[in-house]
Structure formats: C-alpha cells, structure tokens
C-alpha cells in the first residue's frame, strides 16, 4: 500500500535545492501589495497624509503600507517593522 498516494492522491514530486539567490518566507504579502497597487492605495494614502516634516527616509505612504503588510503577516507592533525592513527580498517584491 502506497500511503503517500492515498493521503494526497494528486501530489506532485517536489525538488528541494539550495540557492544563493535572495528569497523570503513572506512572499504572500506580494498579493496584498498587488491589490493595494491596483486600488491605488499607496497614492491615496500619500495624498491624504502629510505627517513628515523632512524630506528624507520613507514616505508617509511607504510607512503606512509597511505597517499594513506587517500586520497582515501577523506581526503585532511597530517594532515588527524591523523584520520587514531586514527582509530585502520581500521589500523588493513589495516595492518598498
């Protein structure tokens, strides 16, 4: 009896390999980012918020969108944004 075929009848073979390419475990945020872009959310947030006093660092919109992506991943505080910032691959995928 082939247990694997009975458990998952249409299972495909998965190959695991090592890479030096940058990857992320939070790529699901890309879907959220694409929806936000399609709705024009980053542009709307940027127009609606004028919090920053200086023209350096992340824009108001980038900060808010980062918070949204972070919370959507289950992070619960602003300090968790550091994890998002540290994940360069995810930042690239999200356009941050």
From first to last of its 96 residues, the chain has per-residue pLDDT tens of 444 555 556 666 767 788 887 776 666 777 888 888 888 999 999 999 888 778 777 888 888 888 887 788 777 766 666 666 677 776 776 666
CA distance 67 to 69: 6
**What integer pLDDT is reported at residue 43 of this predicted model?**
92
Contact predicate 30/95, CB 8 Å: no
Q: Is 18 contained in some domain?
A: no
Domain count, the chain: 1
CA distance 36 to 30: 10
Q: Is 16 contained in some domain?
A: no
pTM for this structure?
A: 0.55
Cα 1 to Cα 4, 7, 9, 14, 15, distances in angstroms = 9, 11, 13, 21, 23
Q: Is 7 contained in some domain?
A: no
Nearest 5°: the CA angle 85, 89, 93 is 95
Structural domain range at position 46 = 26-50+58-96
Q: Is 75 contained in some domain?
A: yes
Q: Is 82 contained in some domain?
A: yes
């Amino acid at each position: 009896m082939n247990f694997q075929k009975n458990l998952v009848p249409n299972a495909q073979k998965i190959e695991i390999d090592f890479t030096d390419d940058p990857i992320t475990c939070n790529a699901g945020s890309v879907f959220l980012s694409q929806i936000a872009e399609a709705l024009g959310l980053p542009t709307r947030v940027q127009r609606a918020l004028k919090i920053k006093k200086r023209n350096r660092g992340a824009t108001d919109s980038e900060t808010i969108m980062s918070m949204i992506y972070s919370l959507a991943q289950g992070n619960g505080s602003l300090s968790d944004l550091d994890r998002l910032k540290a994940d360069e691959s995810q930042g690239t995928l999200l356009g941050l």
